Homo-oligomer: A and B are copies of this chain.
Amino acid sequence: MASFDDFVKPYGLVDKVDAFGYLDYLRTQPDGRAKRGQVILVTADTPLKASRGEGKTTTTIALIDALRERGVDAAAVLRQPSMGITAAGSKGGASGGGKSSLAHPELVDWGLCGEMAAIENAQNLLVSFAEKAVDEGVLDTILLPRVSEVPSRALRQIMVDRGKADIPERVVLTPTCELMQIVVLSRSMEEVSRRVAAMTAGTKDGRPVLFGSFVDLWRITNMLSDAVKPAMTTTQAGSPVYVHCGPFANVSLGIPSLVSVQMACARHDLVVVEAGYGADAGAQKWLDIAAREFGAQWPAAAVVVTRATTWRDDPALRWRYPFHVRRMEGLGIPAFPLVNLWEGEDGEVDDLRRTTDQLGLRRPIIGNLFRDGGSALAAQLDDFIEVLQEGRSHGAQAPAEALRSHKGMDLVDQLRWIASSAYGVPAGRVVCGPDFMDSLAAARALCKGQGLDLNDLVPVAVKSPATMTDDDSAPEAERTVTLKKVEAHTGAGLIQVNLTKSLTTPMPKIV
């Protein structure tokens, strides 16, 4: 009789789990030895600046340490940080901080077991195969971008085959690429393979050409054989943590792989899942993409992280935090405010309690998690644990409406729905930018050419992580959302939609 351990191999300082194999094994086990863990979504306020984190990873780590201190079998699922960005010093790592840290932050921050690098090489190899297809007349225009895990301003716009074909290209950051999305969403290597086959390589005489028509798919799946396995490690306090895939909720999914969450749910009672940036980014994507369209777990509760400064630094943006919390509650997800205190902010606890009280939110969980770790939270988790126990005994589920697929709905209507539900901008104030309809028409034609209805692709908002609308500081009645352009990721089954203040560059520079 197999067990979980048969799917685990030590990998230096961490373990790697053959999650595809383990989930397959569970499916064939009639005795149903798997747990049915509840997912807690850790999300946050929209950050005041794109580079500013509210401390979601630190919170996630402190939270599971505290829950385990309370006797709850809790685990965390984190996203793998972008090594390039960390190495470059553009951003801290994503392995917590202080007492709320992973056992091996240096490893997680610096490339883990090479997962991101393997995905980078595999997508770049697809581009090289596309080049060969151009040489052989199978393709005339390559649409898939090359990727780099290392940020470089100079790679934003490049010209390849200089002096010969002189082809303009752009390079995108690995964690945001279509192949990363495929690894995040797939539940088996067969699914990875099928999705890679359905990726659009480019066009020939204007008609789409898919990778499946000219690439040996086993070459790509071979390259990904270790990258698809979640890493397993612990917090410094020894709580179990899984790390797998996808940062950058502003330009991509920004959530950990679906298999890593599914596996964790089969092994633990509570699974704390971190989603990137604010609730308008990673949480919106977990709910509207992962849960609704790809069968991921609907959260039994949410923890919405913020800093004490939310209510003082920018009064014009104060509306965002309660908006996020209320949106979760409106979806039937008990949403707990959590204030991650910085040094010198201990005196603000009473004020913060008053503020959340006035806003009609649940009693906030407050602590300096960097300094005090999970112990700062353990005593404050009575309500939280109770709500989850109630949810479990009542079999709380997602509202049927929240899980009804939007596939087939007109894309612009889908985007109006997102703007209204996640950004607070009604349908009437969602406007199309000057190039949007052309971009949409082109993408629709490309989809049609491969027998796909563009409306069946799931939209992924691409926008600044620091704003939800064209101007978050404007009065509510004047806020708008401008749609700018689309790009189909046919393999992942997604359509990237640039909106509001979307990034104009595909790659960060070193700062």
Contacts and interface: CB of A to CB of B under 8 A. Distances in A.
Given A88-B128, A124-B150, A216-B89, A9 B9 contact: no
B161 A157 contact: yes
Given A110-B225, A128-B510, A216-B89, A168 B162 contact: yes
Interface residues of A, number: 56
Nearest to A129: B510
Which of A13, A110, A114, A118 counts the most B-chain CB atoms under 10 A from its CB? A114
Given A11-B10, A87-B223, A131 B111 contact: no
A121 interface: yes
A190 B416 CA distance: 57
Contacts of A150: 121, 124-125, 127-128
A440 to B, nearest CB: 26
Nearest to A507: B128
Contacts of A121: 83-84, 87, 111, 117, 149-150
B11 A87 contact: no
A21 to B, nearest CB: 14
A12 interface: yes
Given A10-B10, A88-B125, A510-B128, A167 B154 contact: yes
Contacts of A165: 154
A19 to B, nearest CB: 14
B154 A163 contact: no
A83 B222 CA distance: 11
A274 to B, nearest CB: 23
A157 B152 contact: no
A13 B113 CA distance: 13
A82 to B, nearest CB: 11
Contacts of A125: 84, 87-88, 150
Contacts of A222: 87, 106, 110
A163 B505 CA distance: 13
Nearest to A142: B154
Contact of A152 (B118, B128, B154): B128
A153 B131 contact: yes
Contacts of A154: 131, 160-161, 165, 167
Contacts of A117: 114, 117-118, 120-121
Contacts of A387: none
Interface in A99-130: 106, 110-111, 113-114, 117-118, 120-121, 124-125, 127-129
Interface string A2-44: 0000000111110010000000000000000000000000000
7 contacts: A11-B12, A12-B226, A111-B118, A124-B152, A152-B160, A154-B161, A155-B160
Given A87-B223, A110-B223, A154-B161, 15 more contacts: A84-B121, A88-B128, A106-B225, A111-B121, A113-B113, A114-B114, A114-B117, A117-B121, A121-B150, A129-B510, A131-B154, A154-B165, A155-B160, A158-B160, A159-B159
Interface of A: 9-13, 16, 83-84, 87-89, 106, 110-111, 113-114, 117-118, 120-121, 124-125, 127-129, 131-132, 135, 148-165, 167-168, 216, 219, 222-223, 225-226, 509-510
Q: Name the 3 nearest CB pairs between A and B, nearest first.
A: A114-B114, A117-B117, A159-B159
